[in-house]
Amino acid sequence: MNPLRMSFLIMLAAFSLNAQVNISREADRISVEIDGKPYTDFFLSADGNKPYVYPLRTASGILVTRHFPMEQVAGETHDHPHHRGMFFAHGDVNGVNFWATEPSVKAANKGSMALKKVIEAKGGAKSGTIKAVFDGLDPDGKPMMTETRTLTFYPGPELRVIDFEIRIDALRQLKFGDTKEGTFGIRLATPLSEDKSGRMVNAEGGQTEKNVWGKQSPWVDYFGPLDGKTVGVAIMDHPSNPRHPTYWHARAYGLFAANIFGVRDFTGDKTKDGSMTIDAGKSVTFRYRIVIHPGDCQSANIASLYHQYTSQK
């Protein structure tokens, strides 16, 4: 049988055995449970900091995201406190920094995010969906853009799959500047980092930060030993995304991010400009799939899972 078709059938079989997804609203977050067990929380930027999803777990319950700065856990790194779980943010939007927005940051150009409304928070037997709208505010507290974020959680006996979509509506002309400080990111658990014993691999077979960081690829998988097992996290860039395939701001210390804007930083070519302008009243949409899996890139069939993702209508 064709390996791609076999992978597709395996994926269908896995999803046919899904556990129930339950979603509940709290004051500052929306909580996701799978089969009656906590899976993650979508934090709603109650303090003006960026929205983020934390923690992320494998189907067996192993936490694949770093706890810091939300929690203090012995043995973890404490760099870059703005790397919170899974997030979408950029370091230069009209000169406003939405990337490093910790309350402790006193920079004059720091932006903030404000929850506007939760449109949907619904569980189900096959998936659960959260849809929420945020305003991106400039340093004076005036809205620059509206972000509609839709997260869909798919459970299975082996995989945890999350589809992340964000539509950015420009309330004024927006220029996403050329900087590596962005954009769709996950901060991985410290033991998964390449600085410890993890490994990153892209769709072209490039391995290690040297051959993945700053390169274009439709997907990257980051895997390694954690709690006595090999587990991994793959980020997949949807073909409909602007400038697909994305560049990767994937670091050996555990930052794992897709970023189409930082072309000058990534290539080292000062003649290039990766900035992108969105006119007032226009919008742009980004879509990503996150696959949290047991095993390494090959045993998890990440290449086949990517083809299955892109073949969906």
Query: Tell me: the pLDDT tens digits for 165-217?
Result: 999 999 999 999 999 999 999 999 999 999 999 999 999 999 999 999 999 99
Q: What secondary structure letter does DSSP report for 298?
A: T
In percent, the amount of the chain with pLDDT more than 90 equals 90
Query: Tell me: the pLDDT tens digits for 295-310?
Result: 999 999 999 999 999 9
26, 37, 88, 102: which is closest to 63 by C-alpha? 37
| Res 1: pLDDT | 42
C-alpha–C-alpha distance, residues 99 and 283, integer Å: 20
| Res 46: pLDDT | 87
Mean pLDDT over 219-231 rounds to 97
- Are 51 and 134 in contact by the 8 Å Cβ rule? The answer is yes
Cα four-point dihedral sign 264, 270, 272, 275? positive
| Res 104: pLDDT | 87
Mean pLDDT over 262-271 rounds to 96
Tally Cβ neighbours within 10 Å of residue 175. 15
Query: Tell me: the pLDDT tens digits for 31-81?
Result: 999 999 999 999 999 889 999 999 999 999 999 999 999 999 999 999 999
Query: What are the chain's domains?
Result: 3-310 (2.70.98)
Tally Cβ neighbours within 10 Å of residue 205. 10
- Can you give the pTM of this predicted structure? 0.93
Alpha-carbon radius of gyration of the chain: 18
CA 189 to chain centre: 14
Q: Which position has the token pair 């406190």?
A: 81
Tell me the H-state helices in the chain. 3-16, 208-212, 263-267, 302-310
Residue 169 parent element (H or E): strand 160-170
C-alpha–C-alpha distance, residues 176 and 1, integer Å: 45
Mean pLDDT over 135-139 rounds to 98
Query: Tell me: the pLDDT tens digits for 93-120?
Result: 999 999 999 988 888 999 999 999 999 9
| Token reading at 122 | 């619904």
For helices 3-16 and 302-310, give the axis angle rounded to 10 degrees.
80
